[in-house]
Amino acid sequence: MTDTPVLSAFDVAALARDPSPEARVEVGTKVAERFDNALITHRERELAHEILALLVQDTAQMVRESLAKSLCLMPGAPKDILESLAADIDEVARPVLEASPVFSDEALISIVNSGSRAKQMSIASRPTVSPELSDALVSTDNRDVVLCLTGNEGASFWEGTLVAVADRFGDDEAIAKKLVKRADLPVTVVEHLVTAVSDELRGYLIKRHDISEDVAAQVIKDSRERTTVDLVDGIESKDIPKLVEQLATTGRMTSSLLLRAMCLGEMRFAEAIFVQLTGLPEPKVWSLMHDKGPLGLKALYARARLPQVLFPAFRAAVDIYQEMDYTGAESDRYNFRLRMLERLLTSYDGLEGDDLDFLLGRMSRISDKLHVETPGDEVSFV
C-alpha cells in the first residue's frame, strides 16, 4: 500500500512558527508535491490550494521562484496560481512559461502580446509551440525571440510565418543558420533563403533540401528580378529607359522580368521593355499595349517574340489595370496584385499557391531567356 503523506493544519501552522523564507520554500515544495497526488483527500487539496495562494503572494522572490519550479511540470496545478506566477517578474515567471502544460495557446498569445522580451523568450523555448503561437512570437519582430523560436525543434510554423521570417531575417546569419537546418521548410521559404544566405549556408540548404544547382541559379535570378521591379517604383519616368537599356546590355532583360513587371502593375517599366524588344516608338507601344480590343496587345506581344504560354497572364494584367483605372496608390497596388493572383490561378491549370511572387517565380521556369544584341535588332531566344 502506498504511503501517501497528508496535509493538515500543521502545514499552515508551520508557516506562522518559522517566518524565514527558507521555511516557506520548504513548505511550498512539500505542498506542491502533494497537490497533484490523486490519493490526497478533497480537504487536503483545499488546504494545499490555500497555502499555495498565500505563498504566491509572498514578498520573498525566492519563495515564489521555488513555487514556480515546483508547479511548472504539473498538469493538474491550479490555474489561478500559475496565472499569478506567469504575471510575476521574469525570473519567477520563467519556469511556468517555459514548461507548464496548463496554459492554453490563447493565454500564452496574450502574454506574448503584452509581456516582456524575457517572457516571450521563455514561451519561444517551450517543448512544443503551435503554429498560432509561433506566428504571435514572430509578429513581435524581436530578433532574439525569433532566433530562439527557429532553433526550437518542437516549434511548428505556418508556411506564411516562415516566409515572413525569411523575408525579415534572411540576411541575419544566426537566424538563417537555424532556418536552413529545419527539416520542415516549405519550398517557398527555401526559395527565399537561397538568395539571402551566405555561400556556405546556401550549399547546406541546397544539399539538405535536395535542390539542384540549376534550380538554385533560377531562384537567385528570380530574386534579382524581384529587386529590380521593386526599385522601379522609386525611379523617375525619364530614367526608366536607361535602366531597361542597361538590363538589355547585360543580358538581364528576360521574359520573366517583363511578366513580373506586368503582373505587379509596373506598366511604365513594362512599356519601356516593349519599346526595347520591338523597336517601336513609345506612343505606338502604348497604343497597342492599352488597346481595349483583342488585337493590339496580341500584335505587340507577337512582335516581341515572347513565350506564347505566358500571354494569358499579360492579357489579364492589362485588363485588370484598365478595369481598376490603376493609379499606383498603395491600396490600388494591393488590390491589383490580389486580383492578379486570382486571375493567374484560374488561367493556368495546376498552378497553386497563395503568394503572387511565388507564382511568378514558378511561371518564370517556363519562360526562356531573351537575348537582345542591340536596340532595334530582332529578338531571339537562347
Look at 48-57, 127-136, 204-213 and tell me which has the smallest mean pLDDT: 204-213
| Highest averaged pLDDT of the listed ranges 199-208, 304-313, 328-337, 365-374 | 304-313
* pLDDT given for residue 371 in this prediction: 35
Work out the percent of the chain whose per-residue pLDDT is above 70.
78
Cα–Cα dist 175/192, whole Å: 13
Set of cell numbers at residue 356: 503572387
Residue 370: strand pairing partners:
381
Question: How many CB atoms sit inside 10 A of residue 83's CB?
Answer: 16
The CA-based angle 360-366-369, given to 5 degrees, is 95
Mean pLDDT for the chain?
Answer: 81
* Domain ranges, ordered by start, for the chain: 1-97, 104-211, 231-381
Q: Identify the DSSP state of 179.
A: H
| Cα torsion 193, 198, 204, 210: sign | positive
AA identity, residue 54: L
Cα–Cα dist 258/264, whole Å: 10
* pLDDT given for residue 237 in this prediction: 84
Average pLDDT value for residue range 186-193: 68
pLDDT digits (tens, 9 = 90+) for 287-346: 999 998 889 999 999 999 988 888 988 998 899 888 888 777 788 888 888 888 888 888
The model's pTM: 0.57
Q: Residue 116 pLDDT more than 90?
A: yes
Set of cell numbers at residue 307: 513565350
Q: Residue 372 pLDDT more than 60?
A: no
Q: Identify the DSSP state of 130.
A: -
* pLDDT given for residue 68 in this prediction: 95
pLDDT digits (tens, 9 = 90+) for 33-91: 777 666 677 888 888 888 889 889 988 999 999 999 999 999 888 999 999 999 999 99
The H or E element that residue 61 is part of is helix 61-71
* pLDDT given for residue 13 in this prediction: 61
- For 334, the 3-state DSSP assignment is helix
**13, 20, 67, 307 from 8: Cα distances, Å:** 9, 20, 19, 84
Task: Confirm if 137 and 159 have CB atoms less than 8 A apart.
Answer: no
Cα 156 to chain centroid, rounded: 12
Q: Residue 378 pLDDT more than 50?
A: no
